[in-house]
Amino acid sequence: MNTLEEAVPGRGLRPHFRSLLERWDSTPRQGLPQFAGGQAAFLWRGPGEAFASLHLAAEAGLRDAWNVRRAHPGVAAPPGVRLPTAPGTIVRGFTISPDGTRIAALLSTSASELAETWILAAGTQPVHIPGATAWYAAPVWEPDGGGIWVLTGKPPCQQIMHCPLDAGHPQELPFPTDLGSTTGSRLSLTRARGNLRLAAKNPGTGTREWELESGAWHPTAAPAGGIRVELASDHHGTTVTLDSRPVYRLSPAEYVSSFAIQPHADGTDLWLQTASPERPSGVFCVDEPVRSNESSRDPSGNILHQRVTAVASDGVGIPLVISARASDLGPDGLPARPLPLILTCYGGFGVTHRTEAEPSVPAWLESGGVYVAAQLRGGGEMGRDWHEAGRGPRKMRTIQDLIDVAGFLTSAGWTTPGQTVPFGASHGGLVVTAAALLSPASFGGVVAVAPLLDTVDLHRHGLGKQWLHEFGADGECSDHDRAAYSPVHVVGGLGSAAALPPLLCCLLGRDERVDNRAAVEVVTGIRERGGRAWLLHEDRGGHSQRAAPDVLDFSAAVLAFAASISREATPGSEPCP
């Protein structure tokens, strides 16, 4: 990791946070298993490992083995065998073969999100499938295991390739004629009733699906019937139901990141992958009804999570999840005095924003801070209408929501404006930066990671064509409309930046989604106008999966910056030893 220009504030606090992060990151990370032929394939990252690796184990006994590990987190060895992968690569996705003996895996270097396709099996060398590159779209096996279907390329320039495994060359399969343009759509392949199924999800038109039968595409509806899994949230947490029967209860800051249904002779297993600050990744099989997840709490029982509603300036309630140490709160659930606070958000693309399931949260809380996840309009927390309320011509509403939430947290006694540091990544980086530019008195500092900072010229970004609908650049909004909150353009219109809160802009050097030059323009523009801004550059990182040691170094720098800002606002109150 290298800093550009002078050192970022808080450098002296980094060792403190790095040690806390290492301790909280010592628990192994599990991935949800895939089942076939009596076998299970899954990802696993042990303590000290940079990336997760693929493992294959017998399905029999896996449920008991993983549930025992959940009860005793110190069990560090994964069941089964580790599959060999191509040197220098990481796993971006995978699919188990119908007979359970092979894995079609997407492998890439850490520098690229576009992965190549390999066939993996225990005790054999990986086999490369030429020409089958993919952007997180896991391959689909033919029912007999003789070949795979791969959605190749980077959005929106993708195609479907059929790749036989025994002989022959990959062949392109044309898209359905009525699919039209793929710009803005998220494509995926699955298998249904033994046939290949294509889905195209577009935020403006919904999801359409086709099924390949006898060599031709036929429009089809989503499969009806089957076992239904639903999640219902309230202020106390989330209840998981299986065919309308409650089977599991999650704590307020815990969430289900994925699940799998596995039928067997004696019934049906529901596998859940859950995450929370206290347990960043855990996989287990639900084996009894309405079980409360008390084991997800901090072993000391000292971390508490509250679901709270902040009222925005237009009267709409904005959901928040507030995390703090019990020892920092009084009988009324509020701190005795305002505390340093990290405020996170995303607010775009219909994505649900939650409390981060990573060691930064408990490390910040253990040091005496408060951590808040704000579910702003533009996200997907409350359905399509919530997304639409912050999309296109209403994008400014998302930014105002963050400003309103900061004001609520101050008025409620959680913090002060000078101790409030909003943190956002990607689209969230746009929101926090724009909010600080438009309401500088609301915040003490700002952290933007891999931020999208030019919303006028979206085509300069690697995935900009996919984002036109989100910002109304497909006809709903003019360039002038988007320039009103585009940080590059807002900074360009400032006479002075001296009143702005300090900005830490974190760049991932191999980012394939956003243009880092926009962040350089913003930081340079602020500094030229008398403001305080810094670039923190992680040379080896990309927009997505990064090596664990790099993430810990990066997180320590971010937390140290936030603590330093808090010290400036209220000496003696910042999280630090």
Q: Which residue type does 74 have? A: G
**Could you list the pLDDT tens digit for every one of the 577 residues in the chain?**
444 445 789 989 999 999 999 888 877 888 899 999 999 999 988 887 888 899 999 988 787 777 666 655 555 678 889 999 988 898 999 999 999 999 999 999 887 888 999 999 999 999 999 888 998 889 999 999 999 999 999 888 899 999 999 877 889 999 999 998 888 888 999 998 889 999 998 877 788 999 999 889 999 876 655 678 888 877 777 889 888 888 888 878 888 888 888 877 777 788 888 888 776 667 888 865 545 554 334 444 588 899 999 999 999 999 999 999 999 999 999 999 999 999 999 999 999 998 888 889 999 999 999 999 999 999 999 999 999 999 999 999 999 999 999 999 999 999 999 999 999 999 999 999 999 999 999 999 999 999 999 999 999 998 889 999 999 999 999 999 999 999 999 999 999 999 999 999 998 877 788 899 999 999 999 999 999 999 998 776 555 566 777 888 889 999 999 999 988 887 666 566 6
Integer-rounded Cα radius of gyration of the chain: 24
**Residue 541 burial (C-beta neighbours within 10 Å; 0-12, 13-18, 19+):** buried
Q: What is the spatial distance between Cα 103 and Cα 106, in angstroms, rounded to a whole number?
A: 10
**Would you state the pLDDT for residue 298?**
47
pLDDT of residue 5: 41
pLDDT at 244: 84
Predicted confidence at residue 540, as pLDDT, reads: 65
Q: What are phi and psi of 162, to 5 degrees?
A: -100, 125
Which amino acid does the sequence have at 170? P
Report the pLDDT value the prediction gives residue 281, as an integer from 0 to 100.
Answer: 65
**Beta strand spans in 326-376 (E):** 341-345, 370-374
Pick from 482, 490, 373, 364: which is nearest to 437 by CA?
A: 490
What's the pLDDT at 126? 95
Using DSSP's 3-state secondary structure scheme, residue 549 falls into helix
Phi then psi for 292, rounded to 5 degrees? -85, 140
Looking at residue 84, what DSSP letter applies? P
pLDDT at 513: 87
Q: Which residues sit opposite 343 in a β-bridge? A: 372, 422
pLDDT for position 6? 57
259-263 — which CB contacts under 8 Å span 24+ positions? 259/32, 259/229, 260/32, 260/33, 260/34, 260/35, 261/227, 261/229, 262/35, 262/59
pLDDT at 544: 57
Residue carrying the six token digits 């560090």? 76
Q: Exposure string (b/e) for 346-367, b if CB count within 10 Å is 16 or more?
A: bbbbbbebbbbbbbbbbbbbbb
Question: Residue 393 region, left (φ>0) first, then alpha (ψ -120 to 50), else beta?
Answer: alpha
Contact 355, 276 (CB under 8 A): yes
Number of Cβ atoms within 10 Å of the Cβ of 548: 20
Report pLDDT for 250: 85
Q: What is the pTM of this model?
A: 0.83
* DSSP character at residue 169: -
For strands 90-96 and 103-108, give the pairing: antiparallel
